[in-house]
Structure 1
Amino acid sequence: MSVIVITGGSRGIGASTAEHCARNGMGVILTYKSNAESARAVVERIELAGGKAVALELDVADVSGFGRFRESVRRTLQATWGVTTLSGLVNNAGHGLFNPLESVTEAQFDGLLNVHLKGPFFLTQTLLPLLEEGASIVNVTSATTRVATAGVAPYAAFKGGLEVLTRYMAKEFAERRIRANSVSPGAIRTELGGGLNDEFEALLAAQTALGRVGEPQDVARVITTLLSEDGGWINAQSIEVAGGYFI
């Protein structure tokens, strides 16, 4: 039985990935920071469709809680699926900030750093003993690492760091045949950064070759492939899922 952990799985890309993975026969442990109700709703949708999922609380910005989280994952694997290892980890949790460089505060900077780079680094390190040989790690980055967008400098910088970290994960975990890839979404209809209004969505759609903004499931399908045998020969790659954004 393949079981994966998806951080930030209560909404947006994370929730869509959880549901898509479950439809493809994977067990899902999804995390949430504070919105337990949304997380339970995702679990219920998965179970109604015949899958199995568990929601666990996790603050990705708080490294001190990672050891307790690992033990919760260990117990959940045994109690729910009767297994002892994970076959995948999706580092997805995060939040956005639209603020010019000149006005970004140290607290905002540190908050983004902790969630988008420090958190994935140490969570992967913490869960590494549970990852089985041949497991898959997917780090969710951003097309803002390729296309400079005013107001998102810290966010983009840390996503760029995560993209580099992905290649090092692939290099260092190779002895255990653990693959690591990053998925780089473009403009996606989620709540990140407050969501999209009609005017902003029209602008983004005009800048995208396929003429629309993406939906969470557009990204979820790619992540699911990377977690599955179909993506078994893809490693150390950054895959932009953006419909041809700014080409």
Structure 2
Amino acid sequence: MSARTKIALITGGSRGLGKNSAIKTAQKGLDVIITYRSNKEEADATVKEIQALGQKAIAYQLDTRDTKSFDAFVKTVGDHLEENTGSRNIDYLVNNAGTALYAPIQDVTEEQLDDMVDIHFKGVFFLTQKFLPFINNEGGIINVSSGLARFALPGSSVYGSMKAAVDMLTKYQAKELGARRIKSNVVAPGAIETDFGGGRTRDDEHVNALVAGNTALGRAGVPDDIGGVVAFLCTEDARWINGQRIEASGGMFL
């Protein structure tokens, strides 16, 4: 009897780091569920790429700031899994979805801060909470953070602070879920050339040069630098890694 195919749910998996993580995870032999906020076409294209690798994939719409929608989302995912696998459970939850905010402290509004809290902390906290009964024992949680939780760059006070909160939450998850042998770890990218934050690292040559000049490996990152790290944490090879923050930044601001 062959082993059951494991399943990873990756939020924000339709583009950028999330898409790369989804594809690399599928290459490890896992089936993948991704979420997207608004661009169904991108999500469907990512699903087709994963299916072309021989793995099952499906995409669902989810706004991770809308915690009131989580119960219905968990039920939808569970119904799909029960119908197709006989179980409502997943093995790995990757909290990747997020947006940028670039604003100096004196200009940040209460609405902007609340929005970032909802997306990057409250949403991560409660989506994980809702899925806890449906994460298989010996599974894992991967929270995507940022180098900005370690070093400070002007304009990222709110984003960096939220990611620092996620770093700490990850340790608590690792501690509290240890009895179920569920691991919780952080992957913290450095500056990456994607459309995140309006494509600033990719498209602004001054920002790109600043990043490259302050990175030991001499360039800004690309999605291919990150997805494999997330995928690795979704495998048995990473079974003894727990409560750790893995920064994948090429040695940025060492």
Does the TM-score normalized on the shorter chain lie above 0.5?
Answer: yes
1:125 aligns to 2:125 (yes or no): no
Q: Deviations over 1:133-160 (max 9, x none)?
A: 0011000000001110000100000100
Matching residue within 221, 224, 244 for 1:237: 244
Distance 2:208 2:54 in 1: 35
Which residue number in structure 1 is paired with residue 209 of structure 2? Answer: 202
Q: How does 1:65-84 map to 2 (within 5 A)?
A: 65-84=69-88
Q: Which runs of 4+ in 1 moved over 4 A?
A: none
Which residue number in structure 1 is paired with residue 61 of structure 2? Answer: 57
Which residue number in structure 2 is paired with residue 181 of structure 1? Answer: 185
Which residue number in structure 1 is paired with residue 159 of structure 2? Answer: 155
Q: What is the Cα deviation at residue 80 of structure 1?
A: 3.5
The letter for the 1-side match of 2:24 is H
1:16 aligns to 2:23 (yes or no): no
Whether contact under 8 Å (2:192, 2:223) holds in the other structure is yes
1:217 aligns to 2:224 (yes or no): yes
Greater mean deviation of Cα atoms: 20-29 or 198-207: 198-207
Taking structure 1 as the reference length, what is the TM-score of the superposition? 0.98
Distance 1:46 1:81 in 2: 18
Distance 1:123 1:6 in 2: 12
Distance 1:160 1:19 in 2: 27
Distance 2:62 2:213 in 1: 37
Q: Deviations over 1:94-134 (max 9, x none)?
A: 00011100001111111111000000000000001100000
1:143 aligns to 2:150 (yes or no): no
The letter for the 2-side match of 1:43 is V
The letter for the 1-side match of 2:253 is F
Q: What is the Cα deviation at residue 84 of structure 1?
A: 2.9
Q: Deviations over 1:63-98 (max 9, x none)?
A: 100000111110121233443311100000000011
Distance 2:64 2:135 in 1: 18
CA RMSD of aligned residues (A): 0.9
Matching residue within 135, 151, 168 for 1:164: 168
Taking structure 2 as the reference length, what is the TM-score of the superposition? 0.95
Greater mean deviation of Cα atoms: 116-125 or 189-198: 189-198
Helix, strand or coil at the partner of 1:90: strand
Which residue number in structure 2 is paired with residue 89 of structure 1? Answer: 93
The letter for the 2-side match of 1:91 is N
Distance 1:72 1:52 in 2: 17
Helix, strand or coil at the partner of 1:96: coil
Identical amino acids, percent of aligned pairs: 44
Greater mean deviation of Cα atoms: 44-53 or 217-226: 44-53
Distance 1:48 1:164 in 2: 37
Q: Which runs of 5+ in 1 are unaligned?
A: none
Q: What is the Cα deviation at residue 172 of structure 1?
A: 0.6
The letter for the 1-side match of 2:9 is V
Q: How does 1:98-109 map to 2 (within 5 A)?
A: 98-109=102-113
Which residue number in structure 1 is paired with residue 120 of structure 2? Answer: 116
